[in-house]
Chains A and B, each alone.
Chain A
Amino acid sequence: MAALTEEQTLIKDQAISWASAEAPVSKFRAMRNEGNEGGFAEPTWSAMVEMGWTGILVPEEYGGSDLGYLTFGLVLEELGKQLAASPLFASAYVGATALLLAGTDTQKLSHLPRIVDGSEIVTLAVDEGPRHAPARTALEAKSQGDKHVLTGSKTLVLEGMSATHFIVVARSAGKAGEAQGLSLFIVPADAAGLSRRPMKTMDSRGYAELSFDGVEVSDADLMGPVGQAGEVLDEILDRARAGIGAEMLGVGSQAFAMTLDYLKTRKQFGAVIGSFQALGHRAAELFAAMELARSCGEAALQEIDAQSNSVAKACSLSKAKVGDFLHTMSNQLIQIHGGIGMTDEFDAGLYLKRARVLETLYGNQSYHRDRYARLLGF
């Protein structure tokens, strides 16, 4: 764990005790069993708002506490351990980040306080196809005077069914595949011509597919200059990746803890299975991978807070290394639990399924290995 300030330690402790008492994995399971379309339980969400977590990234002038990304990461990690579901990440982390980095003063003033008090859920709509590829954005934004008409579709939009607003990545110029020509618009969910459908994913969270059929927005809804959002989009996505990294650390370290516990209690051949060297060494390798991954995950959040010029590299490193660890860890969680690990009644499967979704979001490991190499110039 990084060296924390007093305030960070307080919030981390609060997150640990709240998540284990009020949002344990059993609550997530209950919600999944009910088939909740929104993908989260309302009381869980309003408790988070009350605790002030929705304001961690937001400056005080907009009603937040401005505590930074590492602090938010600590909360996301603890929520990850319990698979606690809510729009906290999509709205108060990614949505707020997009507004802070790209929003106009008016947009910030109108949305940030409402993100903080939970009355708005603002989420980013970026992916369109099977792979995360922002440059391949095809959703078209045709400018007509001070109007822009949006046509196209988005997929895997986080909390898309409960969102009140979407921050939409659209193409104002150029062809799909070109990094240039992208714009960001903030679009209310009830805009004429915008429709959404839930996507049922293996992690039982709330995602939506969006369809834009000539949705009209104005210059006032444009975030930043038209056609020039590529760079800021990268910055937004990097912060999102580091946040996913933090949650992945939580999911992975919980999977490790469950596995270690089983190694110490399950007996076969007259001994606890953790006494077999094959498994002891596997646990040692997993532990080492976890420690190395933690360093990468925390460093990314710290680089963001420090506004360093190597944020992009650090965030790709985090997404790739924490993702690699979680991938292996979630597989071993099942394997080391033997037949029990395969049952729906046991929690291992919930962690495995969440793991794969987190790995996929905002670029999987291979995406970020490639990106890291490009950032290093090869």
Chain B
Amino acid sequence: MTAASDLDGFRSEVSEWVQSNFPSALKSFDLGADSPSEKGVSGEFRAWRQALADNGWGTPTWPKEYGGAGLSDPEAKVIRQEIAKVGAFNPIPPMTGMGVTMVGPTILEYGTDEQKAKHLPGIASGEVRWCLGLSEPNAGSDLAALSTKAVDNGDAFILNGQKIWTSGAHISQWCGAVVRTDPKAKKRDGISFVMLPMDQKGVETRLIKLISGASPFCETFFNDARADKSDLLGDLNDGWSVVKRLLQHERQSQTSAPAAVKIDQEPLQEQAKRYVGTLEDGTLADPDLRLRIVENLMDAEAHQLTVSRITAEAKGQVKVSAAASVLKNSMTRVAQTKAELTLEMMGNQGIGWEGEQFSEEELRSVRDWLMGKAMSIYGGSAEIQNNIISKNILGLPETTQQG
């Protein structure tokens, strides 16, 4: 544990550093809309990313030798808070796709020293983007049903098969994929986790357009794609334990609002007053909507308090916990309901698709609302989380998810 007084000293150090290094030109930068990639951003953006990376502050809790800063969780929190305070942001996690939140922590746990040295620094600096090839057309929630094959040809695994819903596959440099290496073994026992570069002849991606109009993910085809044998993560045929851990990290990363949420965002109730108006006593003119907004605000507060409580109980040590399923579902519910309420309060202005009759905020609300529907599907759907709670936390016998 870091003493509170040390933390105060550290805080003023961080605060000073952020203020003198964050380019004011980036203040209005909207990290939320699209996840930025190195090519598409300004010089200032690149300089800010590099400055953070030089300190190891993009991934502050990672070891120094792999591009982190070797800091404690409370110290990392200080950095997050000080960055948010001045309207700045940490661009490194979104620039790495699945790198910082999922692939990195899993490599830290399962990787050899050689793998850590090869892959982690590129993630920590925000320069290498990763995607994850897990889902297949016939293996979604039941991931262990996957059928993409990998055959050992001596110095590499040769991959054949199809992945789907691969977020950011078209802009990623690396992919972490689960593949079947022993077709004769039981479902979960013949799977391995491999890492492979996307820029090779055997990998092809095709964009999928979503209901929100965006195309952030792909179908990914492996036709004799190569994964170096030194890029097998964990033991051969033990990929299931690797991916289970990876998915825990995913769930954990989805228990709180995305980092991109702006702190100066107008509160829901103020936005509602603007669209709906108020009665003489100052209450919202639509009493039914008002109560549903209160409930959503209360649920959001309850969620935040639960995150804090679990952190306090863990005495500052933020671990991947069983409570992650509870938090993922509650975060999802709060966010999806909020998006619904936002559209509802906007009324005729909350149904626009494009054009100047609608404000940017209104159009974005529609797209966010649509995109938000995915929250209860990916990272283990809401139903799968409930299976996990009832089986792993409550100890009820399972009748589903066999095999």
Contact = CB atoms under 8 A, between A and B. Distances in A.
Contacts of A287: 326, 389, 393-394
Contacts of A291: 306, 323, 326
Contact of A372 (B267, B298, B390, B391): B298
Interface stretch (A99-107, A114-122, A134-142, A293-301): A293-301
Nearest to A290: B326
B302 A295 contact: yes
A285 B382 CA distance: 11
Between A264, A275, A283, A284, the greatest number of chain B beta carbons within 10 A of the residue's beta carbon is seen for: A284
A295 B303 CA distance: 8
Interface string B131-171: 00000000000000000000000000000000000000000
Interface string A273-293: 011110011011101100111
A376 interface: yes
Nearest to B388: A284
Between B294, B302, B303, B395, the greatest number of chain A beta carbons within 10 A of the residue's beta carbon is seen for: B302
Contact of B312 (A2, A288, A369, A372): A2
A298 B397 contact: no
Contacts of A372: 294, 297-298
Contact of B396 (A1, A280, A292, A293): A280
Given A264-B395, A296-B305, A369 B298 contact: yes
A2 B294 contact: no
Contacts of A296: 301-302, 305
Contact of A378 (B269, B329, B397): B269
B231 to A, nearest CB: 37
A2 B399 contact: no
B301 A317 contact: yes
Q: Is the interface of B mostly helix, strand, loop or mixed?
A: helix
Contacts of A317: 298, 301-302
B326 A378 contact: no
A352 B329 CA distance: 27
A12 B371 CA distance: 46
B386 interface: yes
Nearest to A263: B396
Contacts of B383: 281
A264 B397 CA distance: 8
A377 B267 CA distance: 11
A373 B269 contact: yes
A292 B330 contact: yes
A276 B399 contact: yes
A284 B283 contact: no
Nearest to B269: A378
B244 interface: no
Interface string B261-284: 000000101101100001000111
B313 to A, nearest CB: 6
Interface string B19-43: 0000000000000000000000000
A202 interface: no
A317 B306 CA distance: 13
A264 B383 CA distance: 20
A288 B269 contact: no
B183 to A, nearest CB: 30
B65 interface: no
B305 A299 contact: yes
Given A274-B396, A321-B302, A378-B283, A288 B390 contact: no
B394 A3 contact: no
Given A291-B326, A378-B284, A277 B309 contact: no
A104 to B, nearest CB: 35
Contacts of A167: none
B357 to A, nearest CB: 27
A285 B270 CA distance: 31
B269 A376 contact: yes
A373 B283 contact: yes
B387 interface: yes
B297 to A, nearest CB: 7
B235 interface: no
A274 B383 CA distance: 16
A377 B387 contact: no
B398 interface: yes
A1 B310 CA distance: 8
26 contacts: A2-B313, A3-B315, A260-B394, A271-B397, A274-B397, A280-B387, A280-B390, A283-B396, A284-B385, A284-B386, A285-B386, A287-B326, A288-B326, A288-B329, A292-B330, A293-B302, A299-B309, A320-B298, A321-B302, A369-B298, A370-B291, A372-B298, A373-B269, A373-B283, A373-B294, A378-B270
Interface of A: 1-3, 260, 263-264, 271-272, 274-277, 280-281, 283-285, 287-288, 291-296, 298-299, 317, 320-321, 366, 369-370, 372-374, 376-378
Which 4 residue pairs spanning A and B have beta carbons closest together? A280-B390, A284-B389, A295-B305, A284-B386
